[in-house]
Structure 1
Amino acid sequence: MGVSRRTFISTLAGGTAAAGLTAAGLGAGTARAAGPATAAAPAASGAGDVVGKITVGYQGWFACAGDGAPIGGTSPGGASGGGWWHWSQDWGQAPSPSNNAIKAWPDMREYARTYPTAYQNLNGGGAATLFSSYDQQTVDTHFAWMKTYGCDTAALQRFNPNSSEGPTRDAMAQKVRQSAEAKGVKFYIMYDISGWTNMQSEIKTDWTNKMKAHTDSSAYATQNGKPVVCIWGFGFNDSNHPFSADACLDVINWFKGQGCYVIGGVPREWRTGTGGSRAGYGDVYHALNMISPWMVGAIGNAGDSDNAYTTYTVPDQADCNAHGIDYQPCVLPGDVSARQRAHGDFMWRQFYNMCRAGVQGIYISMFDEYGEGNQIAKTAENASMVPAGSGLWALDEDGTACSSDYYLRLTGDGGRMLKGQIALTATRPTQPQGGSTSGSGGSAVTFKARANGLYVTADDAGASPLIANRTAAGPWETFDLVDAGNGNVALKAHANGLYVTADNAGADPLIANRTAVGGWESFQLVHNSNGTVSLKAQANGLYVTAENGGAAALIANRTTIGTWEQFDLTTG
């Protein structure tokens, strides 16, 4: 098994944010004002699949007994075989409170196939089951979430493929490719070279013989017309990354010679060559097309983020500008078990700091990292969704209710700010909401108006009326179709977690601003003979129309169904 990033961070920083900042001269008591906002610097590259985009790190490394995965070898707990890869310390035994390798429990309500564990039942009832990344449906579900919530590109983690994990890693690359193509999300290969003894030669062989074939995919990420590849681990000052500067530079130049755009996952002190970075690696870092410093373990609250903005982000961006390199710092939601998240305050402050520094892209650490507790994928909302006696915290650990998809929604908002679709703001556009915005008896859907062929959006993060004016579907264009009783449905907007209402008994345009479902929030979903649907408001018995051919807000004021009252409904 390759040594994971969590092992490196816990060794370097002692598992605490304070230790990471102390190493950089930023103790907990030395918070400074963030300083004035800087003007956005010109990018070294134009927009592509990583520049101007949100990239999420995708582990895809969870297996369960009985899933058919070929993972083998010896687990960290010492057992042979790998039935419960990354879910437990002893992979040969089912996960339990005494055999646990995760810091947060996933929201399991949308997985078609699940696997029983040795945990007690959930506090709210029901078996404590987990998913396997080896199931195609699991990967499909994850990539559907990426598409819905504005995650543009997935970086598939690939550790030493010549270890016992190799066959499973190979299979995961194909599964990710299939899901990315099906769901309309980009992906690329991200090599994690931690603990890879013969990396310099074997990484070239692996790319040539296996991974390069995936660049043929329509979903494989490109930048500046070149396939993207990332190498995480050059320059780290620890025993798991002993590679010389010459070896690292050789690998970078080889990939560039293969026509690739090369990203480097590097230490946060890469620019100064101190602390977590080996000295004398400046030429290595400056040979990269994009630099992506690692921040997990270095920051743990909004104040730490402001310190990092001054100490790392702003001077890093200036250095990259001077050398014609794209800059992609990472944003993390926070470790649930360390209670860092502060119902989104921590993550949003990072988005704000990155965007005001004018970065070229943002890397989310990570999508599915339940082991570090830094996942943005759907997570248990409250104690009812966590196994009894597990000791695991849910997303409401600080007393503020958060839906299981809240950090996916924050990621979507951060992406819009990066792209200039919403203004730079230190205030989160989407506030935490109690109760899941999906998976609670409803399906995630979008509506495309036949009036103009555009998607219906809960505009301005739900603060403005619904209108059909979007060419693509993201979180603001996604609604949960919820059973409202008596054969009716309600629409819960992903933009803000509130229900759509035909306000003022239908006299006003539709808007998502209600916390509960009543008569004004109930609609009859009419299925038309041509495959479209229409919505009949129970507030006044009239049909919802994309008024003025879609140029005006949706309103329930039509007595019959015509083209303007018809919508194409898509699920998932």
Structure 2
Amino acid sequence: MNILKLILFTLFGSTFLAHAGTQYVTQAASNITETSAQLNGYSASTIGLSGETFDYGLTTNYGYSALATPAGINGPVSAQIANLECGTEYHFRFRGDPKPPRTTIQGEDLTFTTAPCGPTIFTNVSFETGGQYYFVAENNGGNTVNANRIAIGPWERFNLIDVNGGNLFDGDTIHIQTATGYYFVAKQGGGAELNANRTVASIWETFTIELPNNPGALIQNGDKVALKSINGHYIQAAGNGGAGANVHATVIGCNATYPCSWEMFKIIF
């Protein structure tokens, strides 16, 4: 009986000491970019280590995992993860499996946030008026903007720079740039003519893209959009196209023939 007690004590005592002598510590993430990060941890055990993993995801349910390297050591470990969303908070923890039959031990949950989203550039974007005319930067930039072309050529294609990054949504802040590097500018921030003659984007070269018929939605090819200057004036195709363009309107005007069309344009990606 005494021998049996000694064996049981030794077995259970060994298990207890193994847990007490095993540590999995989650440490702060590093090398964080818009889409990647390095997860860090520290492992220490008196019984040997195996299967060390970092769990990560948008919540404490995690959902993703990455193997820690170097494997099976006492000391600092890490894992590189990629394909993350920019400007997003992630949860992570360091988890290990001591050699069987011991149970899983894990470090505490920590969080990190990826770097803010950089601008997204949509190329070869055109704008068509309700009268089926296209916006044009005369001489491909460095001059005025009109809305009087009946076909799309190089001067009618622009870079749309989504300052917020990611997909293009109603309410996003944008710049419109010609192929030669000139930006659309609302002189005085609105209430005057529309040109494409600035080489640096500042507040007068900044617009809000709106989707009046579907607020808050993703903007897709063929949608009708409005472009509002920093001072709240809308880009307008005079006469619904076929003439010049300006930034005079303070509201999206409507009439029976062309409902809201002088300040709304089909976006073509």
Same fold, TM-score > 0.5, yes or no: no
More strand by share: 2
Larger-Rg structure? 2
User: TM-score scaled by structure 1?
Assistant: 0.22
